[in-house]
Amino acid sequence: MSGHLRIVMAQINLLVGDVDGNAERMRAAVAEARDRLKGHVVVFPELALIGYPPEDLLLRPEVGRRVARALQHMEKGARGIDVVVGHPLAADGRLYNAVSWLRDGRTIAVYRKCELPNYSVFDEQRYFLAGADACVVEVHGVRLGLTICEDIWTPGPVAAARDAGAVAIVNINASPYHTGKWREREEIARLRVRETGCSLVYANLVGGQDELVFDGSSFAMDRKGRILVQAPAFREGLHAVDLDTSGEVQVGTRASLPATDEGIYEALVLGVRDYVRKNGFQGVLIGLSGGIDSALTLALAVDALGVDAVRAVMMPSPYTSEISLAGARAEAVRLGINYRVIPIHGLFDSFITVLSGEFEGAPAGITGENLQARIRGVLLMAISNESGRLVLTTGNKSEMAVGYATLYGDMAGGFAIIKDVSKTQVYQLAEYVNRRASERGEAIVIPGEVIRRPPSAELAPGQKDSDSLPPYEVLDPIIEAHVERNLSIEEMITAGMDAPTVERVVGMIRRNEYKRRQAPPGVRITRRAFGRDWRYPITSGYSSR
């Protein structure tokens, strides 16, 4: 041990609502932090006892009682090491987002979060009242200021802790991943360090919870604003931070964080793995189309769950090309998954016959196209019902934005891994998958043909995505600007985008709210996904100009 005081950041994966199970996981971490890592303090993430975000579970009085009981047990177990644990706190008929400092079988301090985020994916003011007071605890002569997550994103709480005598800040987090988040955290931490002269220990949760992925990536920053300890992203682990007698952070283990594509990929892998496992599914089922979206979804699923847990079905219609059949088969064989082909020609004809009495003439284009997608949805769900496997949908963010998907058809399924990944990023991730395989000396996973072919839903003869949509290199920047950066049409046109195209795309985004409202959840990887952070009315007279 190089320092005077050792703080162990417990970057662990918890389960929302499972208070007793979480307490059990934390007890194991306490023992390891004390016995193996020789820590003086072990620090758990924000609201660790109940998991994050607990949402309306917080409104149930019995959940509060269970948390209080688990906290008492943890208090008793805090021997030989200080334990810093996040939990909801009921007091005076109100609820607080709190952290308790446990020592020698007692609670020696409680801090209540002062800054409650109520924007983006966060609804903390729905549940909590804000605290007002700083909290500083002395350990081996080092005075540590306690803060929770959002508290460091404004100057107030850290300054208050410094004013109360803190020389180092302990910040416990449930901070979800999106691309670029690591830089944002580092910059905000450096601001606080520079403002106050306190070093900073940033301990984050890891794991997937519905649409959010918490990436871990815990770190410690010295008073010069340098990250001297860096925990890996997307992995559980206990990570020691050593402070000297002045509370300054000492050099420790520095994991490297992944590059952008790898980071997104790992977030998606963790997101789907935790959704599947935490919900108790034994495996998943994917409808392959021979296109790049389902090809990437399959690769992700196999990485997340293993070959044996993944099954795929190809359901060709009269419009399915040979390229599609060959591409799907090649990847399935390469990965060694259970793979079946079920043609839908006969079912399609049967529906057309049954419906012939309802329509005047042949069904319109969209009716026949949706019919194929929905027959596939019915088949997948039947196999899912029979096998207990979760159906993974394969739609990307570009499609979700403009509604280029069939409700109850290709949108039928329990989890949509890549729903926040634009088509442009889908290509980048497919290349990443193949590059990684090549670097390992393995055959590529996604056939080159699947990547190079023009995108097509193959629901009509010779159909291309570009028949209905602007090219993705035009579409995706508009979606990114409007959805993630909140630009208006006027601003996008001023930035040089084509006016009629921008208006058309924004109109499509607006009109397809009803589809997104019935879409399965999927992993959030951007600043604004179509999920908790996108709350638009379906019924809306808002027109964009």
Percentages (nearest 5) of helix, strand, coil residues in the chain: 40, 20, 40
* Tokens coding 509: 């985004």
Q: Which is nearer to a copy of itself, 60 or 73 (CB)?
A: 60
Task: By CB under 8 A, tell whether 478 contacts a copy of itself.
Answer: no
Q: Centre a 10 Å sphere on the Cβ of residue 110 and count the other Cβ atoms it contains.
A: 17
Instruction: Map the footprint of a copy of itself across residues 404-443, applying CB under 8 A.
Output: 407-408, 412, 414
Binding-site member from 92, 93, 256, 358 for a copy of itself (CB under 8 A):
358
Task: By CB under 8 A, tell whether 210 contacts a copy of itself.
Answer: yes
Alpha-carbon span 26 to 245, nearest angstrom: 28
Cβ atoms of residues 116 and 88 within 8 Å: no
Q: Which is nearer to a copy of itself, 56 or 138 (CB)?
A: 56
Instruction: Map the footprint of a copy of itself across residues 481-510, applying CB under 8 A.
Output: 486, 488-490
Q: Which is nearer to a copy of itself, 274 or 458 (CB)?
A: 274
Instruction: Map the footprint of a copy of itself across residues 10-69, applying CB under 8 A.
Output: 15-19, 21-22, 51, 53-57, 59-63
Alpha-carbon span 410 to 393, nearest angstrom: 6
Q: Which is nearer to a copy of itself, 196 or 370 (CB)?
A: 370
How far from 253 is each of 156, 215, 236, 262, CA to CA, in Å?
30, 18, 15, 21
Binding-site member from 350, 438, 468, 494 for a copy of itself (CB under 8 A):
350
Closest approach, Cβ 542 to a copy of itself, in A, equals 3
**DSSP letter, residue 126:** G
Q: 3-state DSSP call for residue 298?
A: helix
Instruction: Map the footprint of a copy of itself across residues 93-122, applying CB under 8 A.
Output: 118-119
Task: By CB under 8 A, tell whether 366 contacts a copy of itself.
Answer: yes
Ranges of H-type helices in 59-152:
61-77
Instruction: Map the footprint of a copy of itself across residues 281-340, applying CB under 8 A.
Output: 340
Q: Which is nearer to a copy of itself, 55 or 244 (CB)?
A: 55
Helices (H) and strands (E) in the chain, counts: 17, 19
Closest approach, Cβ 312 to a copy of itself, in A, equals 12
Cβ atoms of residues 142 and 180 within 8 Å: no
Task: By CB under 8 A, tell whether 536 contacts a copy of itself.
Answer: yes
Closest approach, Cβ 152 to a copy of itself, in A, equals 21
Task: By CB under 8 A, tell whether 278 contacts a copy of itself.
Answer: yes
373-402 mask for a copy of itself (x: CB under 8 A)?
Answer: -xx-xxx-xxx-xx----------------
Q: Which is nearer to a copy of itself, 223 or 516 (CB)?
A: 516
Residue from 180, 181, 184, 204 nearest 192 by CA: 184
Closest approach, Cβ 185 to a copy of itself, in A, equals 23
Stretch that binds a copy of itself, among 82-90, 395-403, 457-465, 512-520 (CB under 8 A): 512-520
Residue-wise over 189-206: b if at least 16 C-beta within 10 A, else e? bbebbeebebbbbbbbbb
Q: Which is nearer to a copy of itself, 37 or 519 (CB)?
A: 519
Alpha-carbon span 166 to 170, nearest angstrom: 10
- Catalytic option among 114, 135, 149, 198: 149
Residue from 305, 304, 294, 384 nearest 332 by CA: 294
Closest approach, Cβ 99 to a copy of itself, in A, equals 21
| Nearest-5° Cα angle at 103, 101 to 105 | 115
Q: 227-230 and 219-221 as β-strands: parallel, antiparallel, unpaired?
A: antiparallel
Closest approach, Cβ 132 to a copy of itself, in A, equals 17
Q: Please say if 46 is a catalytic residue.
A: yes
Task: By CB under 8 A, tell whether 520 contacts a copy of itself.
Answer: yes
Stretch that binds a copy of itself, among 162-170, 189-197, 352-360, 443-451 (CB under 8 A): 352-360
Task: By CB under 8 A, tell whether 521 contacts a copy of itself.
Answer: yes
State which amino acid sits at residue 140: H
Q: Which is nearer to a copy of itself, 4 or 278 (CB)?
A: 278
Contacts of residues 98-102 at CB distance under 8 Å and 24 or more positions apart, as own/partner, are 98/131, 98/148, 99/46, 99/146, 99/148, 99/172, 100/71, 100/75, 101/135, 101/137, 101/146, 102/74, 102/75, 102/78
Q: Please say if 149 is a catalytic residue.
A: yes
- Residues catalogued as catalytic: 46, 113, 149
